[in-house]
Chain A
């Protein structure tokens, strides 16, 4: 198991996709210190930026683990392309956390920058703080969204969470910004609390469940009925009345948008259409 302690607070972004259990595996401490990272426009060695500490352990899962202690809010692309193992971060993390990851687990006890879990295909990211914009969304301009895996956020998230998502589960136990599930193609997004608006814009399939307040539903959604519950996962079913909307009709979409009935009396006029 490897512990990383940042040696100083970073002024420039650090691109460190080498912080990845697949790469650390079977490497000695000295070899890990030699790994290349970019700090701003300068190429550096990992050992110059972090104190690398190796802890001997017998436990198989812990052996491939990486723990970061301290502020990593300038460090980008941690765990990019990882396929197994675990990364635990005690502190904030920068952008592109777990980009294109295919397996393993990342746990963050802090806040996360933009594009966390961007284009991920498998594995789990659990964030105990807030996540910024573009959670699980592809890079700007791309339509290749999240293709699997699970993202759990216990805090709030920014705009465009789960944009272009094709598969997978995203659970947000806080508030969400605008455009949750923008151009959603499949998969499930659950927002336990409030949503800023424009949820599910241009979605074609998939499910968005909003348990809190949503000021208005886009006019291109049509009401389908009132449901007693909404299923997120096998062992997670939300028992509360929900309005079910279908859309987005501008895209001939058949996506499902569940909005909690009790928290949204302003949507009650839709019931007349049923």
Chain B
């Protein structure tokens, strides 16, 4: 199948294309130099924006945690459902949509690649079963390794090389993509009803500190040449004053970065940018974090923007979720995943009139606007923690238009409004910067070579939005922009038109990307390790790894490790 996308305003930041009118040729699922103009199907994109397909670096869309969230919230489903159509399957869900609906909704917004950020290795099979049922998008998952017993043991022995080999083993066996660290040390402590409160607190029974876990896994990441950096959810998340922890976390791996490549990704940074001593004196710590990120090049962030809506919070951070239950008195789930991690779920409503929630909303946008380089901060809501991913067009409108921010600022808590930095920020992002924050930057940070750009040889994942950057002034006509990004004029996945004007035209399966780690010698699984699987895990060692036939469409990425 050949395509020619004509006369669109192309935004392709990786190749430095900034709104130039040009044609994009597609053949056999790849972007090519040219196609036979007579034979090729032509898509008239004149007066429209052409961007690479969207990439989402952090969204909880599959796995046991998400599924428990679905079970916990029937009332979330009853208010938002999609009937079956000849092309699509039925589905429900507002904040935690069912798998098919998740895929369709991403495709409607022009997203083609999404990353599921928390997969306890023990629940990897479940996660991949759900990912296989998530159509329309390519996806990958990050195994949670920050509190895995083997990691903690090897780190307490200081044996980084051996640890790297085992991380390589777990990455391939769980079909993972990057190292995810959640509240390092805290989740292990939570198994004993405790938590860690700073980078230098001791993790009970292991004689190591969160700092050693982060540094150790960062070194491992480098030894294994993983495409993404370590993906860190900081300690003290959601506590006033935690911006200091976020700064310390970034600082602690500063010396491990080389060639100006990032060494750490701080995820949903909004939740880690709280200042103040308690909820009464709560205020934004975004400025300090933005200043740090502006003057250093070893860290990338994503926003974790809050949307004023009813949503479901779910993280592997069990102690944080328990605290949230205490704050809200809402129904809750808290779970200890054996020797690996923990998890918690609490439904939550962000209210405009709440001081804390309004400040949280402000923090997310402050981070995005105060960090000068869009390649360092990405647009997410930490779906569904800050709000469902379907709110991305709203966030784009806030980023692109000061007027849109002012309209919302008028409606929020007055005390929060007077303390927010937003009225003093007049920066309005361009479509080019939006393209960086929503696709190019994320693809680059994830090390996805053939995604997030429209260069020759790239995968033909393309989004076309019906907004004319020449005639429409986005800062005034932000509603037009919002509408355009909500319903992509065309979404092209692997060279096939899958959605048009927000309607799904074709149900396609997306691939599951995983790292096929190649170490110099195969990892030795000792008898001692097997014995421990027998003693401590509910799953036998033999049943633990996810085999490739679990994946509907498998897309292994070979990575040569230095161990």
In angstroms, Cα B330 to Cα A41, docked, is 34
Residues of the A chain whose Cβ atoms lie less than 8 Å from the Cβ of B78: 139
Residue among A139, A140, A141, A142 with most chain B CB within 10 A: A141
Q: Is B479 part of the contact surface with A, judged by Cβ < 8 Å?
A: no
Q: Could you write out 18 A-B pairs with CB less than 8 Å apart?
A: A41-B83, A41-B84, A138-B75, A139-B75, A139-B78, A140-B74, A140-B75, A141-B72, A141-B73, A141-B74, A141-B75, A141-B76, A141-B331, A142-B74, A142-B75, A143-B330, A143-B331, A144-B75
What residues of B have a CB within 8 angstroms of the CB of A139 in the complex? 74-75, 78
Residue of B with least CB distance to A38: B83
How many Å lie between the Cα of A268 and that of B426 in the bound state? 72
In the complex, which residues of chain B have a beta carbon less than 8 angstroms from the beta carbon of A144?
Answer: 75
Q: Closest 8 A-B residue pairs measured CB to CB?
A: A142-B75, A141-B74, A141-B75, A140-B74, A139-B75, A139-B78, A141-B73, A139-B74
Once the chains are docked, how many angstroms separate the CA of A142 from the CA of B72?
10
> Number of residues in A with C-beta < 8 Å to the partner?
8
Q: Which residues of A contact B74 (CB under 8 A)?
A: 139-142
Set of chain A residues within 8 Å of B76, measured between Cβ atoms: 141
Give the shortest distance, in Å, between B71 (CB) and chain A (any CB).
Answer: 9
**What CA separation (Å) do A144 and B75 show in the bound complex?**
10
Q: How far is the CA of A138 from the CA of B73 in the complex (A)?
A: 13
- Interface centre among A138, A139, A144, by most B CB within 10 Å? A139
Residue of A nearest to B72 (CB): A141
- Give the A-B contact count at a CB cut-off of 8 A: 19
- A141-165 residues at the B interface, CB under 8 angstroms: 141-144
Chain B neighbourhood of A41, CB < 8 A? 83-84
Q: Which bracket fits the contact residues of B?
A: 10 to 19
Rounded to whole angstroms, the CA-CA distance of A139 and B73 in the bound complex is 10
Interface string of A213-237 (1 = CB under 8 A from B): 0000000000000000000000000
> Which residues of A line the B interface, CB within 8 A?
41, 138-144
Residue ID in chain A nearest B78 by CB atoms:
A139
Contacts of B330 in A (CB 8 A): 143
Q: Which residue of A lies closest to B79 (CB)?
A: A139
A-contact 0/1 string along B46-83, CB 8 Å cutoff: 00000000000000000000000000111110100001
Q: Which of B72, B75, B76, B78 has the largest number of chain A CB atoms within 10 A?
A: B75
Report chain A residues within 8 Å CB of B72.
Answer: 141
Inter-chain contacts of B83 with A (CB < 8 A): 41
A29 to chain B, nearest CB (A): 28
Smallest CB separation, A129 vs chain B (Å): 26
Residues of A within 8 A of B73 (CB): 141
Contacting residues, chain A, for B75 (C-beta < 8 A): 138-142, 144
C-alpha spacing A143/B75, complex, angstroms: 9
Closest residue of chain A to B73, judged by CB? A141
Provide the bound-state CA to CA distance between A142 and B75, in Å.
5
Using a CB-CB cutoff of 8 Å, which residues 302-357 of chain B contact chain A? 330-331
Contacts of A143 in B (CB 8 A): 330-331
- Interchain CA distance A139-B72 in the complex, whole Å: 13
For the complex with contacts A141-B75, A141-B76, A144-B75, 10 further pairs of A-B residues with Cβ separation under 8 Å are: A41-B83, A138-B75, A139-B75, A140-B74, A141-B72, A141-B74, A142-B74, A142-B75, A143-B330, A143-B331
Docked pose: A144 CA to B73 CA in angstroms? 13
Q: How far is the CA of A142 from the CA of B78 in the complex (A)?
A: 10
A141 to B84, CA, bound (A): 24
Contacts of A138 in B (CB 8 A): 75
Alpha-carbon separation in the docked complex, A102 to B73 (Å): 25
Please name the residue on chain A nearest to B90 by beta carbon: A41
In the bound complex, what is the Cα–Cα distance between A142 and B330 (angstroms)?
10
Q: Which residues of B contact A142 (CB under 8 A)?
A: 74-75
Task: Give the CA-CA distance A141 to B72 in the complex, in Å.
Answer: 7
Residues from chain A with a CB closer than 8 A to the CB of B84 are 41
A52 to chain B, nearest CB (A): 25
Complexed CA–CA distance, A62 and B180 (Å): 65
Q: Give bound CA distance, A140 to B70, whole Å.
A: 13
Question: A100–B83 Cα gap in the complex (Å)?
Answer: 22
CA distance A144 to B330 in the complex (A): 12
CB distance from A77 to the nearest CB of B (A): 11
Assembly CA distance A141 to B70 (angstroms): 11
A43 closest partner in B (C-beta): B83
Cβ–Cβ < 8 Å partners of B331 in chain A? 141, 143
B 119-161 to A, binary, CB cutoff 8 A, 1 in contact else 0: 0000000000000000000000000000000000000000000
Interface residues in B68-112 by Cβ distance below 8 A to A read: 72-76, 78, 83-84
Residue of B nearest to A251 (CB): B329
